[in-house]
A and B are shown apart, each in its own frame.
Chain A
Amino acid sequence: MIPKNLKYSKEHEWVKEENGIVRVGITDYAQEALGDVVFVELPEVGDSFAAGEAFGSVESVKAVSDCYMPVSGTVKTVNEALLESPELVNEDPYGKGWMIEIEPDNKEELEELMSAAEYEEYLATLEEGDE
């Protein structure tokens, strides 16, 4: 399940740009690998992060996993629904399970992310390494 209209990072975040604001979440592959998400830690509105920096974390029953900024920017909105219902990350990773919205510092960084087709290829290389 890899929506065509999104862009992807190697750390399995997806981004969706709309009217200059970038929405960020984790991919279906990432939530599947994590298992039941029971806790999500999100940044404060107004926090700024560089691309590649950890902006928060998701915890499944078994493990903690950091979430990385796909592009540099400032946090405008966080999905507070996840604080009470972290399972939304599993149930609807590309929809209700979104994590933060940021104002990017430099829109050109978006160009460096993978397309859906590229991300699909990237996942295939990971699965090969798995066998």
Chain B
Amino acid sequence: MHKKDLQRTPLYDIHRRYKAKMVPFAGWEMPVQYSGIIDEHKTVRTAAGLFDVSHMGEIFITGEKALEAVQLLITNDAAKVDVNQALYSPMCYEDGGVVDDLLVYKFSDRQFMLVVNAANREKDLQWMRERVGSLAEVEDRSGETSLLALQGPLAQTILQKLTPVDLDTLKYFWFTEGRVNGIDCVISRTGYTGEDGFELFVSGEQVVELWEALMTAGKELGLKPAGLGARDTLRLEASLPLYGHELSAEISPLQAGLKRFVKFDKETFIGKEALLKEYEEGVSQKLVGFEMVDRGIPRSRYLLFDIDGNELGIVSSGSFAPSLNKNIGLGFIKNIGMQPGDELMVGIRGKHLKARLVKRPFYARKK
């Protein structure tokens, strides 16, 4: 895609001012880094980082049968969440492959917001209209909605300075409508970094003001802007799946280790039959985490082998992990009962280098 065809978030000029390196991502021109990926990553783990994730899509499902529509689309159980609660779920095709993974926000019995990946927004919209358009209204509000993620152990302290909402009472995966620096927001205690934090949905017209207010409030606490590069290393350490890597039309949620988000006790959902069959027969491949023993960095699509050189599978994501000071990866291997501690080899540019399976997540914050 040519650079002139890329979309820009309302924060584009701000990113330039903060000396971001801008890159094309999912049709958007987005900041990949500011001070440096490692610095931003460590800042999120020890203080807080502010991410512009306005490229994410917000699709509203509205109507008397909104719950029925959502229940049909997702594998998790939206009937179990209350108003003001959020839920993570895959959204599957009939064959069990994944259309997208998303967050479901319940605004009322008749209105849900689905937050989807930027790269999948149009495909998702089409899929939802096709499958549940007759049950409920499917409305894309991505264009007018911006999204900031304030993530890190000091996120609450920073946000509390600017909002009358008592954040102590806002639990993980709950949200509320409230003001931040006088600006109407949906304040959600969610994130994609493995740290405590908040995501703030706000009108595109007010996101610049909100960003500046947060940066000012967080300055003395070490808040820094953070880009998509750090977002990726943070989510990888926390072993959170990324669509296109750990999930795709060819990879089922069961293979990706997301069984707990697939509720077979639900009466029906798209993909149930195929997933139930796969569950009963056993998955052919499964997601594992590994760390390098030899010197080398695993990267997406490198092949995995057993110690005798037989092909086992493929790397889905890999990187240097700044908080662990190790080179780590996620990958899919044949389901042959390998366990954490077992050794395998990664094909890295012509060489087989040793790695070891480890328990996921690689990183978990102290609660």
For the residues of B in contact with A, the DSSP-based class is mixed
What's the minimum C-beta distance from A11 to chain B, rounded to whole angstroms?
Answer: 18
**Among B117-125, B270-278, B295-303, which stretch is in contact with chain A?**
B295-303
A-B pairs with beta carbons under 8 Å apart, 23 shown = A35-B33, A35-B36, A35-B229, A36-B36, A36-B37, A38-B38, A38-B297, A39-B295, A39-B296, A39-B297, A57-B349, A59-B320, A60-B37, A61-B37, A61-B229, A61-B233, A61-B320, A61-B322, A62-B32, A62-B37, A64-B299, A64-B349, A83-B295
Number of interface residues of B (CB under 8 A): 18
Chain B positions 312-329 with a Cβ under 8 Å from a chain A Cβ: 319-320, 322, 327
* Assembled-state Cα–Cα distance A59/B233 (Å): 15
Contact with A along B217-253 (1 / 0, CB 8 A): 0000000000001000100000000000000000000
The answer to whether B129 has its CB under 8 Å from any CB of chain A is no
The answer to the question of B21 belonging to the interface, with a C-beta cut-off of 8 Å to chain A, is: yes
Q: Which residues of A contact B233 (CB under 8 A)?
A: 61
- In whole Å, how far is A31's beta carbon from the nearest beta carbon of chain B? 11
Residue of A nearest to B351 (CB): A41
Interface members, chain A 32-58 (any B CB < 8 Å): 35-36, 38-39, 57
Q: Which residues of B contact A35 (CB under 8 A)?
A: 21, 33, 36-37, 229
Number of interface residues of A (CB under 8 A): 11
* Residues of chain A contacted by B36 (CB below 8 angstroms): 35-36
How many A-B pairs have beta carbons closer than 8 Å: the answer is 36
- Beyond the given pairs A38-B297, A62-B229, 19 more chain A to chain B contacts, judged by CB atoms under 8 angstroms and listed by A's residue number, are A35-B36, A35-B37, A36-B37, A36-B38, A36-B39, A38-B38, A39-B297, A39-B320, A39-B327, A57-B349, A59-B297, A59-B320, A61-B38, A61-B233, A61-B320, A61-B322, A62-B32, A62-B37, A64-B297
Q: Which residues on the A side are within 8 Å of B297 (C-beta)?
A: 38-39, 59, 64
Q: Which residues of B contact A60 (CB under 8 A)?
A: 37
Query: How far apart are the CA atoms of A36 and B227 in the complex, in Å?
Result: 14
Distance (Å) between the CB of A39 and the closest chain B CB?
5
Chain A residues within an 8 Å CB radius of B295: 39, 83
Which of chain A's residues has its CB closest to B37's CB?
A61
Rounded to whole Å, the gap between the CB of B183 and the closest CB of chain A is: 33
CB distance from B263 to the nearest CB of A (A): 36
The 5 closest A-B pairs by CB, nearest first: A38-B320, A61-B37, A36-B38, A36-B36, A59-B297
Chain B residues within an 8 Å CB radius of A59 = 297, 320
**Which residues from A are CB-within-8-Å of B33?**
35
